[in-house]
Structure 1
């Protein structure tokens, strides 16, 4: 994997921000798009823009082939057993809300348990809070280890015969923790519970095999994996999807309609009401081709090397605290704080140097409470980042410390 060759395929990286070369380290929020994805979107809108499924004319047929071809591509990408198990959604959030509304509310009752972790993104937390309120189910949390990891033993002691749903993030968007999904899924199934995985931070960075994980549902977004915004994927085992009622109702998802009743199409179409996200699917198809050409194993190795390099550099600064597990146990996400400096101030100073990071609670308020901080700064790496980017980050952090040291000294 030649990183310089990769970088040349991302037009947005060839610019200056505030007089400095752009150092983009906010990839956990959204990734940049390669030229091939941009061109695929432009080609759709320029050459065969049309609605899908319903038309018999040539443009509609071409668009339908592109849309359904993307479904086939996703099936292979995550090794789903059948193409019908791939549902296109607006993103990870919509996918999880679909599970919560269509499966959770229909199958849970008072006394049942929903097991989560304190590191969940709000997208995999609030829907289950609402399900618990609506059904009387109880929320339980697998306790975190001191380094922000989940132990299999803690999962086993938390999941019980009353547990009906286990919902867990594959990779934490704050700590970079890589959770033992396969082992926890086994425990969930031993207790006849359904396993739901938030794969938003894993799918862009490491190979995913849903059949090997044996999870029942898996959700991810295109925009974090070099694809367009506004489209994501819900994978669900076909038998579960077939038993679920749709989340949205309208055109395209119906089979028969009368004045007083209607029936639904087969999966996955019953979950894709209205005009689907056609351009998004075509862009996702191109993004998967791009990632496959580079190789997910290569991307994973590259990012873990960057994480190790970054943590080694930051370890030289006693007043910078890095949160989470060691580099060899995390993805390419480094969350930290400078002692005495608010993370928003850190991010603001870094921006003056062209370094883009994220600051805040990262849609993970319970995890901030667990860390006993109001907010953190976060640098997140992707396939186009380099050790030079890490050096620029560290240099900008030194500038930040000097600036605020001078401010506090006045």
Structure 2
């Protein structure tokens, strides 16, 4: 008997009507002879409501206590969904993350899964019980509640699918698949029938919000069949697999990321080991760096510019400013009014002129480029944040409609 893991995001269970609809989707899959395990997020914007409540009491609350608070959202969702399925006469049991066997590290608010003890879940599945699991959460070795961070429910679902050797992991969301660009802002965005793990991982990392990059990375590592589809409309979705269609487009998608800040260190000493000094300081604070550009300055100096997530910018500037003398730089500058726009596609490797086409699209739209980063299957440009949406539309039009 096949096991299907289904994940439902916050919009899919936002109110009573949608909870009832999700219960129908789950029981329909069950009636086809499958075992079903569903992973559920907190309803709608309920997590944001909990954050606001915490800020009313203590804006600087510890991450441990925030994890205790935020994990409550999923508990409500799984109970309501289980009640809806129970009403339909099906055997069902809801489980919190720890009850489903999730053991994590102790990095509160962004924990990593160490292992999943699947014995209890497997015993219930053997009885043909529908399992509803709270996504986004687990317990560390001290039995403290932890949360997995942004996109944690996607990661929970893929991890369970891998641990239980599920036939498929279906990610239900408010769009009916993966598109060449955000269909809400780009007219003519096309839905993809399939996309490779590598392309999806790049798109997720670069700002596409359909799936979280950690879940795609895990699916690739354990060869989990993923499908993205709508919980609101009954239509085929997008399959994510090792290799997508051979006859395919040059690029698979255009993504934008406005959660970006650019940091520049001016007039650094031009000597060996300087880059190591700078980025080791950030690595110790677990600050990830993305695009890096080094340019020649004056009088034996150089400038280094790089990007970080916007929420890490102030901390990064503080660290580097305190170490200005140690590093030997004249100034540390930060610009949060930037955005990263990227194209992704395995077809780029065998098609020359892709970068030229990208730059032509931006030039025709009169959009200036600050920085460029490339790999085998992606090109990213850093531009002013006000130009981001226009840039995505111009690039998409150039590649798909020119």
TM range (shorter): under 0.3
Tell me which protein shows more strand as a share of its residues.
2
Which gives a bigger RCO, structure 1 or 2 (Cα 8 Å, sep 6+)?
1
Tell me which protein shows more helix as a share of its residues.
1
Normalising by structure 2, we get a TM-score of: 0.27
